[in-house]
Amino acid sequence: MTSANLFVALRNAFPADLDACAVETETGLLYSWRDLDDATAMVANLLESLQLPAGARIAAQVEKSVESLILYLATLRAGLVYLPLNTAYQSAEMAYFIQDAEPAVVVCSPDRFGWISKLAFTAGTQYVLTLGDDRTGSLLQRAAQCSRQHTPVAVHADDLAAIIYTSGTTGRSKGAMLTHGNLLANAQVLKTYWGWRTPEQGGDVLLHALPIFHVHGLFVAIHGALINGSKMIWLSKFDPQVVLSKLPQATVFMGVPTLYVRLLAEPGLTPAQLCSMRLFVSGSAPMLLDTFIAWQERTGHTILERYGMSETVMLTSNPYHPHDGERKGGTVGRPLPGVTLRVCGAQSQDLATGEVGDIQVQGPSVFKGYWRMPEKTAEEFTADGFFKTGDVGRIDSDGYVTIVGRSKDLIISGGYNVYPAEVEGYINAMPGVAESAVVGVPDTDFGEVGVAIVVGKPGATLAPHAILLQLKATLANFKVPKRCFVVGALPRNAMGKVQKALLRAEYGPR
Ligand code: MLC
Ligand code: AMP
C-alpha cells in the first residue's frame, strides 16, 4: 500500500548518487538529494509528532524557497494534505480559506504571524508555525530536533494529497481535492510524453521560475523534475534577466505566456543563450499565435503548449516527439494518454470535428470533488462521469484541441484566475456603489486584465482611483482591475443581464 504515496514514487526516482545536486538556487545554495531526503524526513517527523488526525490539512502561505518545497514534500511523506495559498492573498481571503478548510496546521511567513495566527486560532487551527524565505522560523527550528529517519506513511491512491482553491463563478472559492493517485498518474504520463531524460540518459535540468501555490509550478514542474531524478535550478521569482543568465545550464523551462512575452522583450534572448535547452512548455492561459511564432523565429525553439486545470492537472499537450506529430501554435494539442476529452453541445450531445462546444473530460488525474461542496461537485460532473471544464473549444481532424473561450465568467491574467463575481462583490459593498461589472480585456503583457465599470447610487460621487485603492487594500493584487470607469448605467439585454461583451468592446484597448 505504501507505493500509493506520491512521495514514495518521487523518492524512488532519486538518482543513485544521493550526494549529487538536486536543487540549486539563484544565490548559489546547493541541496543534494540526500538533503531533500533528510529534510523531508525531519519535517514529516515534526508533523507526525503533532499527532494530527488522518486527512489533516497543512495550509502554507509562505514565500517560494527550497524549504517551502521541502514542506510540501514532507506533507506528502507524512500522508497529510497540502493546502498552498498564494502570498498575494490578504486577510479576508485568508480568513475564508482557513475557515473553509479548517487546517490543523498553518505555516506562514514570520512577518504575517500576528494576523494569520489570530485568524487561524479563532478558526480552530491547532498549530501556527512560521517559515521565512531565508531558512528562519519555528517550522525549521522544531524540525531540527527531529530524526532524519522516517518511513513514508502508507496511503491509498484515493487519499487526498492536496487541496487547491480555485475561485468560483459565484465568488465563493472552491477547494479542488486532488489525490495521490491523481497527481502520480499525471506525473508519470508527462514524464514519458515530454521525453524527460533520466540521469542515466544524460539527465535534464529544469529551470523553475513559477510560483509554487498553483498547479503549474507546484505539480507539473516539480513532479516532472523529481519523478525523473532531474536537478532543478530554483528561482524565488520570475525575473527575465535571471532566467536568461541561468538558461545556458538548463534543458527544460515552463512558463505562463506572460513569461515568454517578457523574455522576448530582452535583447539578450538569443539562440546561443538557449544552446542546452530541449523543451519550452507554456500553459495556464492562452498563448497568442504571435508569441508562439516570435519565439520560434527568435530562438529556433517551438514552444509546447498544453492545457490543464486545478481540478484535473494536465489534460492535453502538443507532442514532444516529432513522430507523435507537430506542435501546432494556437492549439493545446491532443488529450494525454488516459484522458478522454469530448466537445458537447447545449443538449450534452457529442459534437462533430471542428464544431465549437463545451469541453468535458474524464481520466485518472480528474479530481475527487470540491472540498465540502457535494452539490457543487455533482453539478460539475455529467451523469456519465465527465467533468465539465467550463472551457469552450473544438477538436480538429488531427485530434488537436483549440480553446476558443470559456463558458465560466473568468479572467486569466498573467496565468492567475480572477473571477469577476468576486471582485464585483467587493466593489458593490463599497459605500455609494449601486452596481458594477468587471470584464477582461486584452493586454500585451498579462494576456488579459480586468477593467471595472461602476455605477454610483443616486447622488453619490465615486472616484475611480479611490475604488481601485480600496480594492488593493483588500484583495490579492493580481485581482485588482487595472482600470476603473464610473458610468451612469450598465448595458443590459432584454433579460436584464449585463452585456459584458459590449463593455469589453467599449473599455478594451482601442
Ligand atoms: C502581478 N500583478 C498582476 C499579476 N501579477 N496583475 C495581473 N495579473 C497578474 N498575473 C500586479 C502586481 O501586483 C503589480 O501591481 C502589477 O501587477 C505589476 O506587477 P509585476 O511586477 O509586473 O508582476 P510580477 O511580480 O512580475 O508578476 C507577474 C508574473 C506573475 C507574470 C511573473 O503574475 C506570475 O508568476 N504568474 C504566473 C501565475 C501561475 O503560475 N499560474 C499557474 C496557475 S495553474 P501593483 O499594483 O503593485 O503595481 C493553472 C492550471 C494550468 O492555471 O493549466 O497550469
Ligand atoms: P486554474 O483554475 O487556475 O487551474 O485555471 C485553469 C484554466 O486555465 C482552464 O480552465 C483554462 O481556462 C485555462 N488554461 C489552462 N491552460 C490553458 C491553455 N494552454 N490555453 C488556454 N487556456 C488555458
pLDDT in tens, 426-446: 999 999 999 999 999 999 999
Q: Which of 210, 218, 387, 391 to mutate to test the pocket of ligand 2 (most atoms within 8 A of CB)?
A: 391
pLDDT in tens, 412-424: 999 999 999 999 9
Element (H, E) at 41: helix 33-49
488 phi and psi, to 5 degrees? Answer: -80, -35
The closest-lying atom of ligand 1 relative to the alpha carbon of residue 238 is: 32
pLDDT in tens, 13-32: 999 999 999 999 999 999 99
Which residue segments constitute the domains of the chain, with CATH numbers given?
Answer: 6-14+32-184 (3.40.50.12780), 304-407 (2.30.38.10), 410-507 (3.30.300.30)
Q: Is-contact 275 248, C-beta < 8 A?
A: yes
Q: Is-contact 96 173, C-beta < 8 A?
A: yes
Which grid cell is 251? 534543458
The closest-lying atom of ligand 1 relative to the alpha carbon of residue 88 is: 13
pLDDT in tens, 317-335: 999 999 999 999 999 999 9
Task: Give the ligand at the shortest distance from the Cα of 448.
Answer: 1
**Ligand 1: centre distance to CA 286 (Å):** 15
Which pTM was predicted? 0.97
**Ligand 1: centre distance to CA 448 (Å):** 11
Q: DSSP letters of 216-279? A: IIIIIIHHHHHTTT-EEEE-SS--HHHHHHHGGG-SEEEE-HHHHHHHHT-TT--GGGGTT--E
| Nearest of 414, 411, 403 to residue 450 by alpha carbon | 411
Which pLDDT does position 168 carry in this prediction?
A: 64
Average pLDDT on 396-421 reads 95
Q: Is the pLDDT of residue 72 over 90?
A: yes
Q: How confident is the model at residue 348 (pLDDT cuts 50, 70, 90)?
A: confident
Cα–Cα distance measured from residue 417 to residue 309, given in angstroms and rounded to the nearest whole number: 11
Task: Give the ligand at the shortest distance from the Cα of 213.
Answer: 1
pLDDT in tens, 263-297: 999 999 999 999 999 999 999 999 999 999 999 99
Strand partners, 340: 362
Q: Which of 85, 306, 416, 482 to mutate to test the pocket of ligand 1 (most atoms within 8 A of CB)?
A: 416
Q: Which of 212, 218, 284 to mutate to test the pocket of ligand 2 (most atoms within 8 A of CB)?
A: 284
Average pLDDT on 478-482 reads 97
Residues comprising the chain, all counted: 510
Q: Is-contact 129 117, C-beta < 8 A?
A: no
The closest-lying atom of ligand 1 relative to the alpha carbon of residue 414 is: 10
Q: How confident is the model at residue 165 (pLDDT cuts 50, 70, 90)?
A: very high
Which pLDDT does position 488 carry in this prediction?
A: 96
Q: Is the pLDDT of residue 3 over 90?
A: no
Q: How confident is the model at residue 149 (pLDDT cuts 50, 70, 90)?
A: very high
Q: Is the pLDDT of residue 1 over 50?
A: no
Cα–Cα distance measured from residue 327 to residue 389, given in angstroms and rounded to the nearest whole number: 23
